[in-house]
Structure 1
Amino acid sequence: MDIILTISLLASNRRESLERCLDSLKPLLVKIPSELIIVFTGTDEKVLEIAQKYTPQVITFEWCDDFSAARNIGLKAAQGEWFLYIDDDEWFDDVEEICQFFLSGEYKHYHSAHYIQRNYDNWNGTKYSDFSAFRMVQRYPESRFQGAIHEELVPRIEPCKYLQTCVHHYGYVKDAENRNIQKTSRNIPLLLQAIESHPKQVKNYIQISKELELAGDWKAAEEYCRRGLCVCRESGDLYSSGWFEAYLSYLVSNKPGNSSAILELETLITQEALTELICLVLYQQLIHLCREAKEPEKAVCYGYKFEKLLKEMDENKKLWEQQTYGEFCEGYIKTPDHLYGARVDCVACALKLDAQEDAFFFLKRLPWEQGDILCRYYPEFERWKEIYTSSFRKVFSKFWTDASIPSDASNSLREGEALPVYLLFQKALCLLQDNKTDEGVALLLQCMTHPDSDEAYLRQLLLKEAIRHQISVSLLAKQADWDTWVFVAKVVEELPYTLNSRIQACEENLKEDYPFHSLCLKKHRLRQKLSKGFPLWEELIQTLEAYCLCIMEFYRGLYHDEIFEVKNISSLPNEYRFASTVLEALERLEQMQMPEAVRLLGEALHIMPDMTGVITELFRQAARRMDNPALHAGEEFLKLAGQMKDTLYALLDTSQTVQASQILKQVLPLMPEELELIWIGQELIRRRKL
């Protein structure tokens, strides 16, 4: 049986990822006549054992700081008609497309192929960039790898098949401690050496620009990017120059000084023969830069140019494949952060200009049907509502009043479609503002049960408005488990204190059916009262006690009784331990055991430092009370004080201010907190000025 495909893998000492890599290759090895060759460059015997489980063709290679030398060992041993190479820190998502490429015979019409390398920026897999990687080729006698680092397989013969198969790669994640320094410090010297030996080899400039940027040396990255662009211009390599122009736009856009970056990118667009794809990259950068530089007119102008060119590219799909170079591809342009980020920038700039038609043009091109993407822009929308209140309402209301929603925009809201939840929410607010209360409340309730209403920020918005308008929040509580209901803390924190009584009403509304949800809301309401209500002594003590009791009731409803035994106290949440300690301190204050109360409050402060403001005020007011002789006096003193106040008022009535001043001078130090005496003192001063 003829071998159709050789898969060559470099294995170093990455035992953690090697087996996942090999596991992802199984369907290829099973479905296609193929061979697996592993070139072992490491020293870990465990890695060697893993490799030998999958293939007898394991070639040991002594590492010599030359990736091409190692790759060529695998290429030399290959027997397949086609050759695919991969690293041990990569693994395929799904290889079915590659399988069908060979099984269908389609491979006979091509000489090379690309697939997607997804390079992640973080370990949780949420940030990444896609790179169109040239990794498969019809094998020829002259095929070889060149370049000591970031090696290149030559020759690259057309036609080329662009596959959408994705290989995952975490090799460039910037580690929190060393920012991937080990890998970068290895690569940069090798690349510098390669540039010195082969100053006209374009790929070395591409790779060192990326490595230097990864290492945080933006200035050097820009320098080598410019040098690589010069090499391309000298050789007439327009294809590679497109990559340098796009990457240069990225580098200059991220350094200080927006004006110079805008000028440079504008010069590139007007003076260079750029491909349409590279123009799109530059337009996206310019839109963002112009917004940052407070040049909204320019941002909107480039936004329209971007949309026009994007439409032309989508109408001629072949251009995407022909102009792709590395990570600069259709996927790069249409990555949500790039595509929708640019459109959001344009909307913001149009609103700033009060250009409502322009704002609506870009706004309707956001992915309204994709709630998981759109939700990241909700905070931005809410900022617009605060800054551009009138324009915001007029622009957003077009979604339910304007019948001119275009049908030719792929990511826009279609005429006749049901409103997405955020637009439904804004419509409800408009109705409420227009005193159409019944309709507005009905829509808000509809939002609460909408399939997309489970997004955390949207729930915060819904809860805020429900509190403002005194609408039952039971529907929100019904859909929110404990992990998500904690958003009430953020809501209460952001609401003005004037709505504290309305929060209490919502809390009461939940009490019967959702007691724990109610307790959670009560806890944050009382905390708001403590921090924003500025209560004085009696109210401060009562509110703090109620807050602590609420916390204890909350956690006692969540945990079994045995967890509250003294021996387990340290394992309880800080909030519970704080409440327990403060309640004990308040008891000591009532008993006038000040030293012990101070110690306990200090302990509570150590448990929850974010309660510093409340505890500090408690200390201040307690100290004032300790210095107030009236608090330590008996009933006879208080009776006498009352008589003295009556006497002072009588003296004032008869304008005997001298006598009144003499009596006040003796009484006020004994009752420094007595407001009536303070008022009398101020009245005497006023009369003295007359």
Structure 2
Amino acid sequence: MRIQLTISLLVSDRMETLGKCLNSLKPLLRELDTELIVVFTGKSDETLALAQKYTSHIIPFTWCNDFSKARNAGLKEARGEWFLYLDDDEWFDDTGEIIDFFKSGEYRHYQSAFYVQRNYLDLEGKRYSDTDVGRMCLLTPETEFIFPIHENLAPFHKPNKKLTAFVHHFGYARKEKLGESETKTTRNLSLLLAMLEKNPNSAQCYMQITQEYRSVGEPGIAVEYCRKGLALARQESRIYNYELWMQANLPLLISYTGDKRLALDEGERILNHPRTLEVGTLHLCVTLTALCRDLKEFRKGIKYVNLYRKQLLYLLNHPEKAEQQRAAEITLESIAAKEVSVYMEGLFLTTKADDFPCACQIMSWFPWEDEDRILPQYPRLEAWKKDYKGKYDTILREYDRLNTNNPYVCIQKALYAEHQKDFQRTKGLWEICAQNCPPGFQWELIEIAVRNQFSLEILLKRMSPEAWNEYTEAVTERKEWEEMKKFYQKIMPLLETCPFYARKLEQSFLEKLLTGEMLKPAKLIELLEQYCRSVCSDAKFVYRKEALENPEAYALPARYRFAARLKDALGLLQEGTFAEIFMLLKDAIHIYPKMSGAVGQLLRNLEEDIQKPKQPVSEEFMALGGQVKQVLRGLISAGQWDEAYGVLEQLQALLPDDFEVLRMKQEVLRQGGNL
């Protein structure tokens, strides 16, 4: 009976992760003919007991600051055809692919394999980077570990298999527990510096020290070691992965010191060096493009975007070369993932260089059919379109020439057809877009529909009430009053089949009208009654009768609770019961200060009708203004300047001659204007 796979696990006393690690290995132990060897360097009986639950093959090892010696202790007793090693702070996410690799017999066609190590940069697991690691190989008598730190298996023969399976690894996350002063990085640095003393010409050691200084935020020192390491690596006959890593990272490290000019010059020197590999060139192009943007060398930046494109296509057509050029995170896969953002950077560079033909070329490079990669760039594409002043129509024309079904491009094509006054084509494109509208672009489609009087039913069926509420609030705020009146008249007929959505827009429109214009008394009351009917109809549609019978319930929206008070006040107005009206309106303003201007206008009209200066109406009127002032003071105290300014506009209508209101307005303008 043969052992297919030996798993060698280096265990210290990391009890918090050992359980996860061992548990992730259970499928391999169950599905394959596998042995597990534990090299135990810890002191805890609890840790040892947990390891013994999974294997009886425990090798005690006294730690001697040499990882290779510890690894070789496990390797020496391995009996599998293949060998896999990992640490007790790593655990597999899914081992299914590795199991298939062995069960299918595919492993017989390879001599080594890579899988992915996901290195987390924080203990919460929110930030991480993925690195291909060669942790599996055919076991031969020559196989051994070399280097006391960042140990490697050697020889690591080809051909090798690239697996997508990955381990979670928190070893590089900085530990911040009270009393724990030593981190993995400081431990590694001391070992590496000692190793360098023994091997002063080791380019790989220089690279590893560079990585450690980078991780502790010492880019200046990292640059020194990286320069020396790169110079040593260039003296070797072969180009190893550590040279590739230093090729790609030296300019980036220099930029971290703040000297972007030196970083650009160094990057260009490396780019033109005969030993620079294609994958290194790709990574350098990304760094140099960003540096050119910051240094305002826009045309040079465009050159590097073009070079990125050329090298990317070359490597995609020559995957065997890309497979041979890998160094930790410096891989074709990692840099190809930045393709869309590089092209986006290129578009902004063409704006600064006023090179529109180049912009058109870059637009054609975008992988428009890959929605997952393109979607995050839509806001930047919109910003770029606005940034390219005077080219709006031309940009739409270029979008129209693209051969793609991408929904964002489809919207641009609809806009172009509209500009060309091609009504039928505009409508056809609009209907396609309405059925597959990218997030955030419903507003654009509504504007097109209103201008051309297209039915909104297709779009609104796919638009949530929350998104529509957001739209109605924004459109009434964004449009000037005269523009909004025309827009309202044109959109309301398009909402006949969607009464709920129509009422929401009606309410936002009425709020703008009631707080923005001085209306005749009869018209004011008419519009307030219309507003109440609209809000109350919505409430009946959404809420149960029991909830509506108690308009003071805080679960109900402020707009409805305000409308309930206002409706009661308007009912009393018809009866001529003025004294109670003030109390209701006082509550209403407290609930929804946004409408204080309209309520204030109503109160002034009532005061004029009564025509009795000594009546208590004036006192109530002043008390109402005082309550709104109190709301305003709270907003100012909280630094909510935009909200305070909105209430001020209403309060000025309520108390136009109040000096305190004038002073508060000046404070809001001063403080809010400094943001």
TM (norm. structure 1) is 0.73
Aligned partners of 2:279 and 2:322 also within 8 Å: yes
Q: Which amino acid aligns with 1:162?
A: K
Counterparts of 1:493 and 1:520, CA distance in 2: 11
Aligned partners of 2:277 and 2:325 also within 8 Å: yes
Counterparts of 1:463 and 1:167, CA distance in 2: 45
Counterparts of 1:464 and 1:83, CA distance in 2: 63
1:432 maps to what in 2?
418
1:500 equivalent in alignment to 2:484: yes
Distance change >3 Å, CA 548–CA 625, structure 1 → 2? farther
1:642 maps to what in 2?
none
* SS in structure 2 of the partner of residue 158 of structure 1: coil
Aligned partners of 1:187 and 1:211 also within 8 Å: no
CA offset digits 1:175-198 (Å, max 9, x no partner)? 9xx899999951232232123211
Counterparts of 2:100 and 2:643, CA distance in 1: 63
1:279 equivalent in alignment to 2:284: no
Equivalent in 427, 430, 444 of residue 430 of structure 2: 444
1:218 maps to what in 2?
219
2:458 maps to what in 1?
475
CA offset digits 1:103-152 (Å, max 9, x no partner)? 44443454432222244568998975431211112334564545565x31
Counterparts of 2:490 and 2:358, CA distance in 1: 40
* SS in structure 1 of the partner of residue 247 of structure 2: helix
1:386 maps to what in 2?
386
Aligned partners of 1:503 and 1:521 also within 8 Å: no
Cα offset, 1:56, TM superposition: 4.5
2:249 maps to what in 1?
247
* SS in structure 2 of the partner of residue 479 of structure 1: coil
Counterparts of 2:20 and 2:443, CA distance in 1: 40
Q: Which amino acid aligns with 1:225?
A: C
Identity value in percent: 31
Distance change >3 Å, CA 507–CA 468, structure 1 → 2? closer
1:187 equivalent in alignment to 2:215: no
1:139 maps to what in 2?
139
Equivalent in 574, 582, 588 of residue 589 of structure 2: 582
* 1:670-681 to 2 correspondences below 5 Å: none
Aligned partners of 1:351 and 1:392 also within 8 Å: no
Distance change >3 Å, CA 348–CA 600, structure 1 → 2? closer
* SS in structure 2 of the partner of residue 85 of structure 1: strand
Cα offset, 1:269, TM superposition: 1.5
Aligned partners of 1:320 and 1:330 also within 8 Å: yes
Cα offset, 1:63, TM superposition: 7.0
Counterparts of 2:288 and 2:538, CA distance in 1: 52
CA offset digits 1:513-550 (Å, max 9, x no partner)? 445444554565567779xx855698999999998997
Unaligned runs of 5+ in 2: 564-586, 604-616, 660-675
Aligned partners of 1:489 and 1:524 also within 8 Å: yes
1:488 maps to what in 2?
471
Superposition RMSD in Å: 4.5
* SS in structure 2 of the partner of residue 364 of structure 1: helix
Cα offset, 1:213, TM superposition: 3.5
Report the number of matched residues. Answer: 603
Cα offset, 1:265, TM superposition: 0.9
2:656 maps to what in 1?
624
Q: Which moved more, 1:568-577 or 1:317-326?
A: 568-577
Q: Which amino acid aligns with 1:488?
A: Y
* 1:289-328 to 2 correspondences below 5 Å: 289-328=291-330
Distance change >3 Å, CA 596–CA 486, structure 1 → 2? closer
Aligned partners of 1:121 and 1:128 also within 8 Å: yes
Aligned partners of 1:460 and 1:491 also within 8 Å: no
1:198 equivalent in alignment to 2:204: no
1:463 maps to what in 2?
446
Counterparts of 1:393 and 1:292, CA distance in 2: 29
Counterparts of 2:266 and 2:318, CA distance in 1: 29
Counterparts of 2:50 and 2:469, CA distance in 1: 46
CA offset digits 1:180-235 (Å, max 9, x no partner)? 99999512322321232111444554444344444444334334333432443455
Cα offset, 1:161, TM superposition: 0.5
Counterparts of 1:229 and 1:458, CA distance in 2: 49
2:662 maps to what in 1?
none
Aligned partners of 2:10 and 2:41 also within 8 Å: yes
Aligned partners of 1:143 and 1:153 also within 8 Å: no
Cα offset, 1:625, TM superposition: 5.2
Aligned partners of 1:343 and 1:362 also within 8 Å: yes
2:570 maps to what in 1?
none
Counterparts of 1:572 and 1:66, CA distance in 2: 67
Counterparts of 1:490 and 1:13, CA distance in 2: 58
Counterparts of 1:208 and 1:276, CA distance in 2: 25
2:364 maps to what in 1?
364
Counterparts of 1:343 and 1:283, CA distance in 2: 12
1:165 maps to what in 2?
164
Aligned partners of 1:460 and 1:490 also within 8 Å: no
Aligned partners of 1:545 and 1:583 also within 8 Å: no
Aligned partners of 2:135 and 2:153 also within 8 Å: no
Q: Which moved more, 1:500-509 or 1:610-619?
A: 500-509
Counterparts of 1:535 and 1:173, CA distance in 2: 62
Q: Which amino acid aligns with 1:439?
A: R
Q: Which amino acid aligns with 2:230?
A: L
TM (norm. structure 2) is 0.74
* 1:602-613 to 2 correspondences below 5 Å: 602-603=630-631, 606=634, 609=640, 610-613=642-645
